[in-house]
Structure 1
Amino acid sequence: MPLDEGVEAEHRSQAKAPLTPGQRARLILAHITVYLAAALFMLPLIYAFFSALKPNGEMFAMPPRLIGSEVRWSNFVEVFKFGPFWTYIFNSLLVAIAGTLVVLIVSSCAGYAFGRLRWKGRDAVFILFLATLMVPAEVLVIPMFQVMQWFNWVDTYQALVLPFAFGAFGTFLMRQFFRGIPYEMEEAARVDGAGPIRTFVLILLPLSKSALAVLSVFTFLSFWNSYLWPLIVTVDYNARGTLPVGLASFSGLTGTRWDLQMAAAIISMIPTTLLVIVLQKHLVKGIAMAGLGGR
């Protein structure tokens, strides 16, 4: 029997071995802990969902009740009549998808340059680049707005996408992942005549699907939930407003429609939830490999 098959057979036999009472108790305790933690995190979402079905006057009723006097599914329909909510959804999808694509391209290229290529001053430049993570985004708002004015990009889609598409987090994540890939694979490609670009495109990128999935989710969520920058750089909210800005529109001088705001918040969670579910397998693998990478 080949060595690999023998190792796999041994692992299968160990997996089928009966659990001892202590192991079974620890396994049950672990499952209970996970289920309790999941239920704890789900409680606010469940309360938000049922609050979206209440009449507006019962949102702050005392004592609090999970279900109101009537269930108003019409709140989810009325959200789209209250304002240009479809426009908010389209703008958020456009900005989040475009920003994610730019970040993936820039971060993978920069991570390859910092993690695999050897050039003078590489580590010093990377440390300086990484130090930008310590600068709060709020500090950069005024300089970035001035730059957008110089380019005449205020109230445009490129102003919503480009300023935050060149951050250091994605580069650091991809660098750590690339440094965890054995150099022998790259050397074998070079022996076959592949240059740095071809090696990057044909060898390293296909091996980086999990890390790219992690970066995609984090970046998409960042653009999707961004509120301060779209609020500042957008002038015509009805045309280029994003979902966080649109959610704030339910509060006005005449009061706040809490029921519609809750319904809109529930709707806004659907795309990100679906994204995490679809990429769940790659997320677990990517976080583990990117976090342990490096030489």
Structure 2
Amino acid sequence: MSTPVRGIDVVAGGVSASIGAGLFLGLAPAASLAGRWLPAAVLIAALAGGLAVLSTSERPSETLPVSLRRFGFTLGMLARLAAAVAIAGTVAVYLTPLVALVLVAVVTAMAASPVPPAVVRAAAIAVLIVLAVVVTACLAIAPVTPAVAPPDTGSVPGVLAAAGLLTVCFFGADAAARPGRRRPVAVVLVIVALTSLAVAGAALHQLGAPRLALAPAPLRAALAAADATAIERLLIAGVVVACGFALLGVLRGLRVAGVPRVRLVVVSGVATALGMLLIEPTAALAAAAVLLLGDATFRAVAGRHPGVAR
């Protein structure tokens, strides 16, 4: 008899799988698109990503024709591999490529075996605490007013594009999906949405949209602007833990019929490491956003259209 999974462990797994490249890296390109309307883009991303996850989390693909199952499988695999590359690239930006490679190797080994629920809970709590400290530091210090106010580049199309990019923050909620139980998914989405909104608002407050858009490591730049570099090591630790468990969620979510799990995880880990060395993390993040939205759209349509399911 299998041991029932507690609700708090399900939520912790979803939160730990959600906070990664989108929040630590995606705020810069999102700010370049949305400008000072970045918080609005976060809210739209939460709505779009949340609806996508809720509408597809319980949609099995076994009833689809073989050709459509293959297409959906390919689309889903590419989306998750792009997300894995973006996560590894985020660690390389905040630390070094060597550290990112070591993290990928460690997470690949972890993904091949069960992880104690207590470890996942501790990781989720630690990441949320780190982000709370960063938000507090950014809001506690008044930002420096520039001598010449830079122009705001935000626009309605830019806000929508930024929202599409930031939807990657919410697809990790799939890890909380359980048949007939949508409440854990909704709880994860609310936690991630509030966290993302707080972090985006704090970074925007401290840097302003133009400076935020140019920051390779947005949260590190926000701490530097707030004269809070004393807690930079805490931020780096949070990045490693958050991206490690987000990557773990991606690798553990990969499924291929007929392929042993260990072999699939190892191959995916190697592909992630190579992709991190060859692809810019922001490009991988944008690709992940497009592919994840495409995968969610495909599953939603294929699972509901009567002509497709025949």
- TM-score (normalizing by structure 2): 0.27
Q: Which has the higher contact order (CA 8 A, sep 6+)?
A: 2
Structure of greater Rg? 1
